[in-house]
Amino acid sequence: MGSMKVTLCGIEMENPIIPASGTFGYGYEFAELYDINCLGSFSFKGTTKDPRFGNPTPRIAECPAGMINAVGLQNPGVDKVISEELPKLKKCFHKPVMANVSGFSVEDYAYTCERLDKEEQVGWLEVNVSCPNVHGGGMSFGTSPEAAATVTKAVKAVTKKPVIIKLSPNVTDIVSIAKACEEAGADGISLINTLLGMRIDLRTKKPVIANKMGGFSGSAIFPVAVRMVYQVAHAVNIPVVGMGGVTTAEDVIEMMLAGATAVEVGAANLVDPYACYNMVNELPAVMEKYGIQSLSEIIGMA
């Protein structure tokens, strides 16, 4: 059997599959279904400095080949994540975990990352710069190279663990933003976050979700994600984590050929809780089918 091992920012993983933030909770919910230690890692629910209730309901809408969500970063806040969620996670997951961090100011990001950086279970900090900048008129930090670089520098100044910046696809030039993050000290880039989407109910003549618009994810966005991963991976010299519409082991291989060192799986977990488990188990046969001896050797081969 070929080798599924990859190394992400200096940390070796048994395989490249990572359930994406917001689709896997804090792990222990899925540990009731299968041994989640079969995964390369997972990115836990987006964590903010203070507790957040999230957006009003309804906040999820189905679409052909995907879904729209506007959950609004509902989470108990970093203090409770550290005191309550991580101890539960440690009982069922025995590998480094990816801590996903969101914020509404540069100070928020720095505070939350500094706290999580000290936690033994945390291997990487995945910093989501798709959040609205409350001091910048509500535009997301990830829409400008300067803002993304500012967050990167602030987080790197207070942390020792690898920092992976998660980028929004809702921009005209994702490469310039990725390069700005790299120059500011990022250890890796993850992409893509959700596209902006909307549905309207024909009966009520109103938007389906209370927030009007939300993040569009699912298999429909896969070609966009592959394109952006390819563009960024060929423009930076740091590892890329690819995600966006991944639903099969074949999709994982395609993402890696585009340049991803590891691959996150999001919406598929909400359709089938065994999605990542199945991908891990199906990868060896797919590798054999396409004559792949080692996954680490195909990264960026396309």
* Residues catalogued as catalytic: 131
Q: How does DSSP classify residue 36? A: G
**At a CB cut-off of 8 Å and minimum separation 6, what does 7 contact?**
13, 261, 296
Coil, strand or helix: which one is 203?
coil
- Adjacent-strand bridge partners of 165: 127, 189
Helix (H) or strand (E) holding 188: strand 188-191
Rounded Cα distance, 207 and 199, in Å: 6
**At a CB cut-off of 8 Å and minimum separation 6, what does 83 contact?**
none
Tokens describing residue 168:
């929004």
**At a CB cut-off of 8 Å and minimum separation 6, what does 207 contact?**
198, 199, 200, 201, 213
List, as one string, the DSSP characters of 240-287: EEE-SS--SHHHHHHHHHHTEEEEEE-HHHHH-TTHHHHHHHHHHHHH
The one-letter code for the residue type at 268 is A
Coil, strand or helix: which one is 234?
coil
- Adjacent-strand bridge partners of 62: 67
Strands 188-191 and 195-197: unpaired
